[in-house]
Amino acid sequence: GDEVDVDRAADAARAAFPKWSSTSRTERADVLAKLADRLEARADEIAGLICDEVGTPLRTAQRIQASLPVTVLRSYVDLLSAGDEPERIANTMVLREPLGVVAAIAPWNYPLHQVVAKLAPALAAGCTVVVKPSEVAPLTTSILLDELDRLDLPPGTVNLVNGRGHEVGAALAAHPEIDGVSFTGSVRGGTAVSMAAAPTVKRVTLELGGKSANVVLDDADLDLAVKVGVSNAFLNGGQTCTAWTRLVVPRPLMSRALELAEQFAAAFAPGDPRAASTKLGPMASASHRDSVREYIQRGIDDGSLLVTGGPEVPTGFESGFYVRPTVFGDVDPNAAIAQEEIFGPVLCVLGHDGDEDAIEIANNSRFGLHGSVWSADHDRAMAVARAMRTGTVDVNGASYNPLAPFGGYKQSGNGREMGRYGLEEFEEVKSIQVKETF
């Protein structure tokens, strides 16, 4: 795609907006429910495609990559079905109306989920959409558009433009017919989108990077915290913005934590992502593989303790975009590998000297997307969770909630996705004053 295609898509979305925005909540819920059913029916195909495009192990692709978009769609069906009475403030009626035409610019690591997390609330709000998936993993978005095309939507309600970010993404962000942009990607990409969007004063929602801290207090179950933490850090090959890539443990327990981390990391031996036993597939591209290996070498050069892994090619995987699962121990909180988003199977273990020190280390980051805290004392864990400057904190491995707001502090972005908060990103608020109180 190119700028001409962006113009055509934006114009089509603008033309469709009056009709789609006037549909009822029931009609929109029906569309999203049918789309969820259709994607669920193609779940195996979707999982296989993402396995091939991104390197996600097939069992993870089935459990998360293919299933989560269906969950998200159905969550918005439920929200729409719940009804929405206008808020009343004395003699004022407060209405929520669709934002307009929105651009959804998605990354490659969870390609279908990231598109659906934007598309579902945008459609639910009554917006029309132009979607730009990552050029690294575009195929499942084509499946999504195939199924949308089979539904009875006004022509132009949802539009797809494939292409690179510096061309298609930039054109969407700057386009005068686009009222809002929802972008997920790097800080550099988010900055570029914000700058391109600024002259037209459009709304911009950003979900950017992370360097999340997994804080373990001295009364926690260390074995469980490290086991869950390693699995979280290495999920999808570490190509996850919410990955807990900094394991912050009590300094007296550092040796034991490193033993456990090495033990659990061994379960993530590189393998064919199509094999049922594989937990760690290849990186999504050769350039990204090289970037991750360079970070590992930098960690060694900077003096961090290499516990397991390393920058070398994994044995038996001379071809393919593979990286050794790597753990560094006793890492300086200010080291590059503890500050920068590596986006690969690389875990940094840092020592802390008590709760306040752990909080300081956790907050020592330009990012603030996700995090975790472990303690046998609920009140103590909650105190640490409240003090962490991050958008989401899991306490003692609590499960993911698709209805909860998701987004970041600091350079992890602004705005929120998922649930009611995600819906509000695609709505305008209107006040109507009437003479009589009602």
- Residue 436: pLDDT band (50, 70, 90) is confident
Residue range 315-322: mean pLDDT, rounded: 94
Query: What is the mean pLDDT of the segment spanning 202-218?
Result: 98
Average pLDDT over residues 160-188: 97
Per the residue annotation, which of 51, 241, 417, 427 is the catalytic one?
Answer: 241
The H or E element that residue 232 is part of is helix 222-234
Q: Is 207 a catalytic site residue?
A: yes
Q: Provide the percentage of residues in the chain whose pLDDT is more than 90.
A: 98
Task: Indicate if 241 belongs to the active site.
Answer: yes
What is the structure's pLDDT at 437? 58
Residue 226 tokens, joined: 């490290």
What fold, for 3-208+412-433?
A: Aldehyde Dehydrogenase; Chain A, domain 1 (3.40.605)
Residue 398 makes CB contacts below 8 A (sequence gap 6+) with none
pLDDT of residue 291: 98
Q: Do domains 3-208+412-433 and 213-395 have the same CATH topology?
A: no
Residue 373 pLDDT: 98
Instruction: Write down the pLDDT at residue 400.
Output: 94
CB 106 within 8 A of CB 65: no
The residue-averaged pLDDT of 160-165 equals 97
pLDDT bin (cut points 50, 70, 90) of residue 138 is very high
For the domain made up of 213-395, give the CATH fold: Aldehyde Dehydrogenase; Chain A, domain 2 (3.40.309)
Band of the pLDDT at 438, cuts 50, 70, 90?
low
- Output the pLDDT for position 260: 98
Bridge-based pairing state of the strands 87-89 and 346-352: unpaired
Torsions phi, psi of 158, nearest 5? -130, 130
42-53 pLDDT per residue, tens: 999 999 999 999
**Based on the number of CB atoms within 10 Å of its own CB, is 363 exposed (0-12), middle (13-18) or buried (19 or more)?**
middle
Helix (H, G, I), strand (E, B) or coil at 160: strand
Two tokens, residue 200: 């037209």
Q: What percent of the chain has pLDDT over 70?
A: 100
Joined tokens for residue 245: 């890539």
Write down the mean pLDDT value for the chain: 97
Model pLDDT for residues 257-274, shown as the tens digit of each residue: 999 999 999 999 999 999
When pLDDT is averaged across residues 9-36 and rounded to a whole number, the result is: 98
pTM: 0.96
Residue 136: pLDDT band with limits 50, 70, 90: very high
Marked catalytic residue, from 53, 177, 207, 341:
207
pLDDT in tens, 82-123: 978 899 999 999 999 999 999 999 999 999 999 999 999 999
Q: Under a CB-based contact definition with an 8 Å cutoff, are residues 282 and 270 in contact?
A: yes
**Would you list the domain boundaries of the chain?**
3-208+412-433, 213-395
10 Å Cβ neighbour count for 130?
A: 28
What is the identity of the amino acid at 346? V
pLDDT exceeds cutoff 70 at 369: yes
4: pLDDT strictly greater than 60: yes
Other beta carbons less than 10 A from residue 378's beta carbon: 10
Q: Which two tokens stand for residue 374?
A: 């472990």
What SS3 class is residue 259?
Answer: helix
